[in-house]
Amino acid sequence: MRILFLGDIVGRSGRKAVLDELADMREKLRADFVIVNGENAAGGFGITEKICTQLLDAGADVITTGNHAFDQREALVFIGREPRLLRPVNYPPGTPGRGAGLFEAAGGGQVLVINPMGQIYMPNLDDPFAAIERELAACPLGAGCDAIVIDMHAEITSEKMAMGQFCDGRASLVVGTHTHIPTADAQILPQGTAYQTDAGMCGDYDSVIGMDKDEPLNRFTRKIPSARFTPAGGEATICGVLVETDAATGLAKAIAPVRTGGRLAPAWPDF
């Protein structure tokens, strides 16, 4: 199975790039299943039902989120009727929506997608490791599903790497989101789980993590907020990873970064 994961979509620029290019990317990469992180898709903060529908119609099979999942208040309502939109799995009981789901890929394979959020420098949620343990026990790789993808939405690289090691041999892919910068550590861990610390963002990299430069620079230099953060509007780079799994085990056979468009050097899988 070939699984494409795209990092945080930031604002109109990132959204337009993904909506324009996803169908073509899916065909060229021969992707059986596509996951995108959409938590910054609506003006940089949250996701609306309209945008959610647009991304699904464009070719995404599942949309993950993170700490901005409910910044658009309407998400508290529509997330309950859209099972393909996930919020962090370690929200406490009673939170609208769900943090994991089993989905069908092209060709009929079953993919478990889990969306934990880290605890360090992030909102105070339940233990993500305990939440992942419960989900993996309930639907183990090879017995309950054909592939497992974990979007670890976290600030700290060590927490993301620890999640990768924690899941090694039990998941197809553990990939980080949230920091909006693609890391250079795409690899297959010793027990067969594909891993990258951060997929990067789908947004304008002539920015400060996707936001127009002026206000972040003002806050760093003057220490006083003077305006809202607004997404940068230049040409976006689409960033993500492609993973190919073994049909017999569900573990990774190959992983490679995907980067196209915008300012960053392109990267395209050769498998």
Quick check: is 68 catalytic? yes
| C-alpha distances out from residue 131 to 65, 167, 183, 191, Å | 16, 12, 25, 21
Exposed, middle or buried by CB within 10 Å (0-12, 13-18, 19+), for 46? buried
Indicate left, alpha or beta for 149 from its phi (over 0: left) and psi (-120 to 50: alpha). beta
Which stretches does DSSP call E strand in the chain?
Answer: 2-6, 33-37, 62-64, 100-104, 110-114, 147-153, 173-177, 187-188, 194-196, 238-245, 252-260
Token pair in block for residue 48: 């609306």
Angle between helices 128-138 and 157-167 (to 10 degrees): 20
**Rounded-to-integer distance, Cα 66 and Cα 73, Å:** 15
Q: State whether residue 236 is helix, strand or coil.
A: coil
**Rounded-to-integer distance, Cα 209 and Cα 259, Å:** 16
Helices (H), the chain: 11-29, 49-58, 75-78, 128-138, 157-167, 214-222
**Rounded-to-integer distance, Cα 71 and Cα 64, Å:** 14
Annotated catalytic residue within 68, 153, 178, 180: 68
CA angle 229, 233, 238 (to 5 degrees): 105
Active site residues: 68
